[in-house]
Chain A
Amino acid sequence: MSRSGFPSGLAAALPIVLGYLPIAFSFGVAATQTGFTPVEATALSLLIYAGASQFLALALLSSGAPVLITAVTLIAMNLRHLVYGPALMKAAGDDASTRRVWAWGFGLTDEVFGQALGALARGQRFSESYMFGLGLPAYAAWVGGTAIGALAGGSALDGSPAIGAALGFMLPALFLALLLSLIARPQVPVIVVAATVTIAGTFAISGTAGILAGIAAGAAAGVIRR
Chain B
Amino acid sequence: MNTDLLIVAVLAGLANYAFRVLPTRMGSSALPQTGPLARFLAATGPAAIATLFVASILPALSLVPREIATLAIGVASVVAIYFISRSVVAATLAGSVAYGLAVYLLG
CB-nearest residue of chain B relative to A80? Answer: B45
Name A's interface SS: helix
Asked if A1 is at the interface of the complex by the 8 Å CB criterion, the answer is no
Contact between A43 and B50, CB atoms less than 8 A apart: no
Contact between B8 and A176, CB atoms less than 8 A apart: no
Chain A residues contacting B50 (CB-CB under 8 Å) are 179, 190-191, 194-195, 198, 214, 218
Chain B residues contacting A108 (CB-CB under 8 Å) are 20, 24
Cβ proximity bits A107-137 to B, threshold 8 Å, 1 near / 0 not: 1101100100000000000000000000000
Asked if A183 is at the interface of the complex by the 8 Å CB criterion, the answer is yes
CB-nearest residue of chain B relative to A99? Answer: B25
A222 to B36, CA, bound (A): 8
**Size of chain B's interface in residues, with CB distance under 8 A?**
74
Contact of B60 among A16, A75, A172, A183 (CB under 8 A): A172
Contact of B24 among A77, A86, A176 (CB under 8 A): A86
Total inter-chain residue pairs, C-beta < 8 Å: 311
Contact between A89 and B1, CB atoms less than 8 A apart: no
Asked if B63 is at the interface of the complex by the 8 Å CB criterion, the answer is no
Chain B residues contacting A88 (CB-CB under 8 Å) are 24
Asked if A84 is at the interface of the complex by the 8 Å CB criterion, the answer is yes
Q: How far is the CB of B61 from chain A (nearest CB, A)?
A: 10
Contact of B99 among A165, A175, A198 (CB under 8 A): A165
Cβ proximity bits A173-212 to B, threshold 8 Å, 1 near / 0 not: 1111111111100110011011101110010000100110
Chain A residues contacting B23 (CB-CB under 8 Å) are 82-86
A221 to B42, CA, bound (A): 11
Asked if A7 is at the interface of the complex by the 8 Å CB criterion, the answer is no
Contact between A96 and B27, CB atoms less than 8 A apart: yes
Contact between B10 and A47, CB atoms less than 8 A apart: yes
- If A47-B12, A222-B42 touch, whether A176 touches B95 (CB-CB below 8 Å) is yes
Asked if A10 is at the interface of the complex by the 8 Å CB criterion, the answer is no
Which residues of A are in contact with B by a Cβ distance under 8 Å?
15-16, 18-20, 22-23, 36-37, 39-40, 43-44, 47-50, 52-53, 55-57, 59, 61, 67, 70-71, 74-90, 96, 98, 101-102, 105-108, 110-111, 114, 161-163, 165-167, 169-183, 186-187, 190-191, 193-195, 197-199, 202, 207, 210-211, 214-215, 217-219, 221-223, 225
